[in-house]
């Protein structure tokens, strides 16, 4: 189980790194892929390589942190105004709801996640967005 859980974490981490390198958050400009689509592709690239690792939902959001107060706000949509990088930091957060199958299912008369049934997990990763000005798209 732990090997497959590690692969699911790897899918989340790869998705987040890919999304953080995007030029825009939700709307493509000049044909460039968006952070949301890169997160999907990054997660699928890993999970398609390993049997028994499944993603159910992949949510990508913007985390805005005030540098002075450390207060964080979350947004699932592009920013309404240009980012203020002197007062805030901007990160991409990817949440994956997924499942991992037992490596060797143990036949038991009852269902136990991880032994004879899939284990459902939520994994989160954050990375700093490399192009904050693109978060308005």
- Is 13's pLDDT higher than 90? yes
- Give the lowest-confidence range in 6-10, 28-32, 103-107: 103-107
pLDDT above 90 (res 122)? yes
Please state the domain count of the chain.
1
Look at residue 111 and tell me whether its pLDDT is greater than 90.
no
Percent of the chain whose predicted confidence (pLDDT) is above 70: 100
Query: Any idea what DSSP says for residue 80?
Result: S
Domain residues for the domain of 53 are 2-136
Beta bridge pairs of residue 99: 54, 120
* pLDDT tens track for 59-75: 999 999 999 999 999 99
Give 110's pLDDT tier (boundaries 50, 70, 90). Answer: confident
């Amino acid at each position: 189980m732990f090997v497959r859980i590690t692969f699911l974490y790897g899918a989340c981490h790869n998705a987040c790194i890919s999304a953080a390198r995007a030029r825009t958050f939700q709307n493509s400009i000049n044909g460039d892929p968006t952070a949301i689509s890169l997160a999907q592709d990054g997660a699928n690239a890993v999970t398609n390589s390993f049997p028994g690792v499944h993603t159910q939902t992949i949510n990508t959001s913007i985390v805005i942190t005030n540098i002075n107060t450390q207060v964080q706000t979350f947004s699932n949509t592009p920013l309404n105004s240009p980012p203020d990088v002197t007062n805030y930091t901007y990160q991409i957060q990817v949440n994956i709801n997924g499942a991992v199958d037992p490596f060797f299912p143990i036949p038991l008369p009852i269902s136990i996640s991880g032994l004879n049934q899939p284990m459902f997990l939520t994994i989160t990763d954050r990375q700093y967005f490399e192009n904050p000005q693109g978060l308005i798209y």
